[in-house]
Structure 1
Amino acid sequence: MKHYNFLFLMADQIRTATLEGMGDGIQTPNLRRLMDESVLFTRASCTCPLCTPSRASLATGRYPSRCGVPIHDAVLPPEQPTFYQALRDSGYRVGIVGKTDLHKRDTYCGVKGDLPSMYHYGFTDPVETEGKMNSAWYGTNPDGSIYPMGPYQKYLMDKDPELMRTLEKDYRSYMRQKPRYHAQPSVLPDEVFLDTFIGEKSLEWLNEHDNTGAPWHLTVSFAGPHNPWDPPKEDYDAVGDTLWPDPIPNDMEGKPAWIRRRVAQQTGGMTQADLQQVKRCYAGSVRVIDRWIGKLLDWLETSGHKDDTVVIFCADHGELLGDHGLLEKSCMYEGCLRIPLLVHLPGMTQRRDSDALAELMDLAPTCLELAGADWNRREMDAVSLVPVLNGSTEPLRPVQRSELHNCTMLFDGRYKWIRNYNDTDELYDLETDPQELHNVIDEHPKVLDRMRPYSFRH
């Protein structure tokens, strides 16, 4: 039996609307190239709109509350089984180049990105890099000299230690002095941008591990377009002075108190010009990722692997980009809940859209089923997407669920219930109110009764 290879492409904090033609007005020609030969899950969601819980949920096929990672600064418990382990046990080389966030609390990745914990999680050939924010926080020896926390920092240090100090100074200013909506081109030279490093190392991985006698699963985990929004100057200039679409209005009627406080903290004082600058820098960061995806797709074609490789593109969560006066993630509105999810199987030549209630963690059993690997289906909350990929229109699940430490989201395909703990609950009819402007929580008690059994807070 010939096994599929897997090229698993992942971006950090990119929303469904960012795909070309989906609303944000950003050009993504290489993602469009993939999309034109894939199934696009138009209503895919993350199981948590926050990096660490979302990635742990993907790794295990379990909701954050079930895999032991309900918060951001955490470590995936070593006793939790992962789909990477199952692939490895089935004979796969399992690689990662880029951010994993499986041990967020422990920010050290090792100068080669191959800590022993990565092997335990199931990777056979890891090159784990720092994430976007952590790329700036280096270690310091007693004599004041720098020691790198991961391979990207080691790369910068080998080129010039001042590059590392320049990045740290810029990000520290962003975190402590500048408004959250600050955006500007990178202070580093274009050629040493983090996602460029990840792209280059991914191509090196493929060339090194191709034709080794084993099938492979490579996760290319880009660090962008996560803030700080600081694309290479070349990409910032290439995007130009585009007039980006207006965000969803900042109408706080019916919104809980914690959302109102966050709006004031994140975008208080932000002008229209500030928002346009954020979107320009976000688009420039997306442009870098799209370019490297093009190079990776080119590699599949020139190496002869297009016909035996499953290609997946997804994100850990979305990005609000000013919708409702909010930026980034960590709430349950559509911008940060909905993720781009494309799956290309060998032989697909046309795009097909599916409105199935897919969740990011569903990629775990999907990859295992396509790989012919064994796993304990009763241990996962996730369901395989393979039936949908094969043309089935049967529902995947009655409701989608997503979790944060202070709220839960339930979506039945029309109504979206946000249960805000110790605050105002929200219910939106996304069929008539896709922008989530009208909280109708008091108008549909039967909808709540129908969805209540799927919440762990009855």
Structure 2
Amino acid sequence: MKKQHISLILGAMALGVEAMAQERPNVIYVFPDQYRNYAMEFWAQPDFAGQLNSASDPVHTPNINRFARESVVLSSAQSNCPLSSPHRGSLLTGMYPNRSGVPLNCNSSRPISSLRKDATCWSDVMSQAGYDCAYIGKLHTDFPTKNSPQHPGDYVETQRPVWDAYTEPQNRHGFNYWYSYGTFDEHKNPHYWDTEGNRHEPHEWSPTYEAKKAIEYIQNKNGQRDGSKPFFLMVGMNPPHSPYRTLNDCMEEDYNLYRDVPIDKLLVRKNANRDMAKAESARYYFASVTGVDRAFGMILDALKEAGLDENTVVVFSSDHGETMCSQNTDDPKNSPYTESMNVPFIIRYGSRLKPHVDNLLLSSPDIMPTMLGMAGLHDKIPAEIQGVDYSPLFYQPDSESVKRPDAALYIQNMDGNKDAQGNVVDYFPSARGIKTHQYTMAVYIDRNNNRDHVLLFDDKADPYQLNNIADTKEGKAAIKKLYKRMGELLTEIDDPWISRGIYKRVAKQLK
């Protein structure tokens, strides 16, 4: 009887623990690559009209439209270092590139750029808090090494430098379910390594396939997760990242929506140069956007069918934007232009969040602590992070428990010195800048750490950033204030511009 009584007590305790675990929300974070904030159809619809101060893209995104109406939508989320790897490093660690270990896009010529193994990542915290953690899709935060599971002693690809990478189990930072790769840009010929290191080549457009894998995980179809735990699922889709040139890059059904639309009806932003050779890519880019929307919708539908949508925090975001012929640049990213820095950030948490649009200047390192806050894990946020938990503002936009940011940093790094083998041994902090609700400023330096040039845009008066006002009387007065505030923020994060004396040196040259 005693044993039976003890067993009943232990069983009741176990059920109680399980019930408490299930009270915590599931978290799903979906982030396609190179997806700009303007590429969402709802911005042009009546109930969202006027929330952006410039034209949005004429894209078809019915699932994101529906999701936005159930969510808090940020109009001014910023990718501070708008490149895949640096943003992802900040996303996972809550730190800026100088601390995350990822100041540059990761490849085999840049051993200095790789996610810190000793960092306590978002997924580490979730795992330690009792979550089942899954990662599906593109990661791109690892320095590629000769660790191919299929070909021991070799890289996972033959091109040099190597970009793709296999993440070994000890470097997965708490993710117990794995179906991922480093970076690989054949959208209809993707590959993945699973939890055990087996390689899979599905020969299917990657967002669709990744959505199917996410659905299997949500449904726990094959026992992929511990059903007694809440789950944390990240899905890193590659499209609408380049290439976007042919039907090898997107689904034909999506391309057909844009095939016969004149380019001037697609590239509607006033700063877009429709005569650039890249202009035709707009059809394929927008087709990829629509395909990502459909894949995201598949995940949302599966979540609802499983009865989990009310107790799941779902986010749709991206790691950086895409200029797509704006500003006469072929570089889709790595710039302070709004098309590059401004990314989607849409968050839904059942009936707990009242749908609205907010102009919160959310920065990349803020996402990790904010999402931990959304999961009720405020007290688990690592002390070393540099981001801020803004979760109270999603519940109460007027909350005074956390101060709203007045600015977001812009960071651009380039390869620094190289060794005899051509490997990058440090990085060059080529530009620093600041984004406020009115201005965008970026200050560039040469290799001798002297001022090279300055960009300054009044985003309210000039939303397409057509006029650089850095040398005007108004501009010089604004630069003085903006540069001071930028210095304060750079000091807070111990940026190289501060530690190497670049900030003070350039300050003298700006007078």
Partner of 2:231: 216
CA drift at 1:130: 4.5
**Residue ranges of structure 2 left out of the alignment (5+ in a row):** 1-19, 44-55, 107-112, 151-155, 157-164, 414-429, 447-451, 491-497, 505-511
Out of 482, 489, 499, the residue aligned to residue 454 of structure 1 is 489
Partner of 2:405: 397
Q: 2 CA distance for matches of 1:199 and 1:106?
A: 29
Out of 338, 345, 364, the residue aligned to residue 360 of structure 1 is 364
- Do the aligned residues in 2 keep the contact of 1:38 with 1:348 (CA within 8 Å)? no
Partner of 1:188: none
Partner of 2:136: 97
Describe the shift of the 1:434–1:322 C-alpha distance in structure 2 as closer, same or farther (beyond 3 A). Answer: same
Describe the shift of the 1:119–1:249 C-alpha distance in structure 2 as closer, same or farther (beyond 3 A). Answer: closer
Partner of 1:441: 470
Q: Percent identity?
A: 24
Q: Answer 1 or 2: higher relative contact order, Cα 8 Å, separation at least 6.
A: 1
Find the residue that maps to 2:217 and give its secondary structure.
Answer: helix
Describe the shift of the 1:109–1:353 C-alpha distance in structure 2 as closer, same or farther (beyond 3 A). Answer: farther
CA drift at 1:450: 3.8
CA drift at 1:129: 3.0
Trace 1:33-112 onto structure 2 (pairs within 5 A).
33-73=66-106, 74-106=113-145
Structure 2 counterpart of 1:340, which letter?
A: P
Describe the shift of the 1:236–1:223 C-alpha distance in structure 2 as closer, same or farther (beyond 3 A). Answer: same
More helix by share: 1
Trace 1:374-413 onto structure 2 (pairs within 5 A).
374-393=379-398, 395-405=403-413, 406-413=430-437
Q: 1 CA distance for matches of 2:86 and 2:97?
A: 5
CA drift at 1:376: 4.4
CA drift at 1:235: 2.1
Describe the shift of the 1:106–1:13 C-alpha distance in structure 2 as closer, same or farther (beyond 3 A). Answer: farther
Q: 1 CA distance for matches of 2:192 and 2:67?
A: 34
Find the residue that maps to 1:437 and give its secondary structure.
Answer: coil
- Do the aligned residues in 2 keep the contact of 1:84 with 1:94 (CA within 8 Å)? yes
- Do the aligned residues in 2 keep the contact of 1:60 with 1:380 (CA within 8 Å)? yes
**1:282-326: per-residue Cα shift (whole Å, max 9, x none)?**
111111111111111111111100111001010001110110112
Q: 2 CA distance for matches of 1:55 and 1:366?
A: 15
Q: Which moved more, 1:71-80 or 1:274-283?
A: 274-283
Q: 1 CA distance for matches of 2:386 and 2:185?
A: 30
Out of 314, 319, 330, the residue aligned to residue 317 of structure 2 is 314
Q: 1 CA distance for matches of 2:148 and 2:88?
A: 16
Structure 2 counterpart of 1:454, which letter?
A: L
**1:196-218: per-residue Cα shift (whole Å, max 9, x none)?**
22122111222224671000010
Partner of 1:430: 459
Structure 2 counterpart of 1:194, which letter?
A: S
**Residue ranges of structure 1 left out of the alignment (5+ in a row):** 139-147, 160-190, 251-266
Structure 2 counterpart of 1:217, which letter?
A: F
| TM-score between both structures, scaled by the size of structure 2 | 0.72
Find the residue that maps to 1:213 and give its secondary structure.
Answer: coil
Describe the shift of the 1:149–1:234 C-alpha distance in structure 2 as closer, same or farther (beyond 3 A). Answer: same
Describe the shift of the 1:136–1:75 C-alpha distance in structure 2 as closer, same or farther (beyond 3 A). Answer: farther
Partner of 2:185: 133
Trace 1:245-324 onto structure 2 (pairs within 5 A).
245-249=267-271, 271=275, 274-324=277-327
- Do the aligned residues in 2 keep the contact of 1:109 with 1:115 (CA within 8 Å)? no
Q: 1 CA distance for matches of 2:148 and 2:312?
A: 29
**1:166-188: per-residue Cα shift (whole Å, max 9, x none)?**
xxxxxxxxxxxxxxxxxxxxxxx
Q: 2 CA distance for matches of 1:281 and 1:427?
A: 32
**1:24-56: per-residue Cα shift (whole Å, max 9, x none)?**
110100011110011111010012110001100
Describe the shift of the 1:154–1:12 C-alpha distance in structure 2 as closer, same or farther (beyond 3 A). Answer: same
- Number of positions where the alignment pairs a residue of Structure 1 with one of Structure 2: 397
RMSD of Structure 2 on Structure 1 (CA): 2.9
CA drift at 1:134: 7.2
- Do the aligned residues in 2 keep the contact of 1:330 with 1:404 (CA within 8 Å)? yes
**1:144-164: per-residue Cα shift (whole Å, max 9, x none)?**
xxxx774699443xx7xxxxx
| Pair 1:124-2:176 in alignment | yes
Structure 2 counterpart of 1:87, which letter?
A: M
Describe the shift of the 1:240–1:42 C-alpha distance in structure 2 as closer, same or farther (beyond 3 A). Answer: same
